[in-house]
Structure 1
């Protein structure tokens, strides 16, 4: 780190020095590859090229290191042998030990999703393993390269993977949707084709519409009941004064027998005078 700080004219602060190496094995054609590289403060600093047995310096500060390491041909030859032979042999052993897990095949679950009527239709495949999957949209049996927006393969929490590919349908009338289908290809299983059928699309806006239907029905049921209750209250209030007018008029004796000295109630007073 001290040498790197000098070359980048740095005098203090926290800095990060990284080293990454490994090998790869293609189980289809049995080809191999390897990588051996260094980084500084999150940026590429220098990397080894297995084919040319030389070092690649993407920044000027790494040029002195490149010149010195290129001259050490014996070490460079050893590194190529290690990454193309010894490392690959270990990788094959690990694959044998973990064959039931590392070389398994899990079938993807495919769904068609749409956020709103104007949004793209998303073909979403998830739960598959390994991650070497091909997902694309097809129209009339031909793969589409326009109208589509492929996403990256992402890991799931359970060790499987997921990926999405968007299809823009703004210029496509719905009667032509039947010409489209989403195709998912994974080694070891048959192709999974999902037609672009509105009945198969899961939507957020569709769920909201479905949720409002019972609410509307409930309101339609409650409104007549509420109206009937209001009419009943009005009829009750209308009948109540007429009932009071038919009560017997209290006599003066009855009025004088009010033990609490209160005036007679209004309904006990004569309706007319004279």
Structure 2
């Protein structure tokens, strides 16, 4: 399969024996010969070891820099060998891979090609795909943010306040719960971490317990690269333990 920022964009398997798009934008942008060449390439590699290659970039403002190149092989459930891009040579992780390592390292042009592909051609594809996907991601993958509270089952004098962001992509997100306009430290917050949704987007929840006698204003802030400005949901002063036995408080905002 092909992945862009952890989202599957295409796949190939031995049953269909075709390279198949998984996102509308790549299906629309790439010509038929791209899929034909990709099909032939993956069909030939089907007879090889298990194989993975790719590249990563770092973004500093508007500048994008090469960060990491990956070209590695496995066999029968074990790592076999990988390409050391700094040394421009293959590294065998098991003895069985040593003959292949020596054979490939004895063809300098092959290692030069592998290094050049990872640092240049792979980077070109990555930037092209990111450009094609950007508009699609901005339009369809903004966070939907909810703030809600419920009395805890083991101690009815406490309430768990939860902030949830869902439906966002890529998965990098900053979700903060604030008490009286100050960020709560991580050791006071319970977090699920970033988790995948069924549609390829992501979600994250953070929660904090509130005591019955406490009076404070709690807010939820979410920052994501597809947002022009952070989403702020103001919870105000929460008093879920009063007012005719009301046991739950909830507020939400869809973007």
Both proteins in one fold, TM over 0.5: yes
* Preserved CA contact (<8 Å) 1:156 1:162: yes
The structure that has the greater radius of gyration is 1
Asked whether 1:85 is paired with 2:120, we answer yes
Cross-structure match for 2:230: 191
For the structure 1 residues 95 and 107, does the alpha-carbon distance in structure 2 shift closer, same or farther, using more than 3 Å as the test?
closer
Matching residue of 2:21: none
Write the distance in 1 (CA, Å) between the matches of 2:170 and 2:190.
Answer: 22
- Deviation of 1:30 after TM superposition, in Å, equals 0.2
For residues 213-268 of structure 1, the C-alpha deviation after alignment (integer angstroms, 9 at most, x for no partner) is xxxxxxxxxxxxxxxxxxxxxxxxxxxxxxxxxxxxxxxxxxxxxxxxxxxxxxxx
CA distance, structure 2, for counterparts of residue 113 and residue 59 of structure 1: 52
Structure 2: how far apart are the matches of 1:67 and 1:120? 60
Q: How big is the shift at 1:114?
A: 5.3
- TM-score (norm: length of structure 2): 0.56
* Structure 2 unaligned residues grouped into runs of 5+: 1-47, 241-245, 249-255
Distance verdict in 2 for CA 1:49–1:175, change over 3 Å = farther
* Structure with greater proportional strand content: 2
The Cα shift of 1:21 comes to 1.0
Shift of 1:82: 0.5
Q: State whether structure 2 residue 168 is matched by structure 1 residue 128.
A: yes
In structure 2, relative to structure 1, the CA distance for the partners of 1:103 and 1:125 (3 Å cut) is closer
| Structure 1 residue runs of 4 or more that deviate by more than 6 Å after TM superposition | none
- Inter-partner Cα distance in structure 1 for 2:150 and 2:91: 46
Where relative contact order (Cα < 8 A, 6+ residues apart) is larger, the structure is 2
**Could you say what secondary structure the match of 2:216 adopts?**
helix
CA distance in 2, matches of 1:177, 1:36: 56
May I ask how many residue pairs the two structures share in their alignment? 185
Query: 138, 143, 150: which is aligned to 2:191?
Result: 150
> Of the candidates 14, 21, 27, which is equivalent to residue 53 of structure 2?
21
SS at 1:107 equivalent: coil
**Is the CA contact (8 Å cut-off) linking 1:136 and 1:144 kept in structure 2?**
no
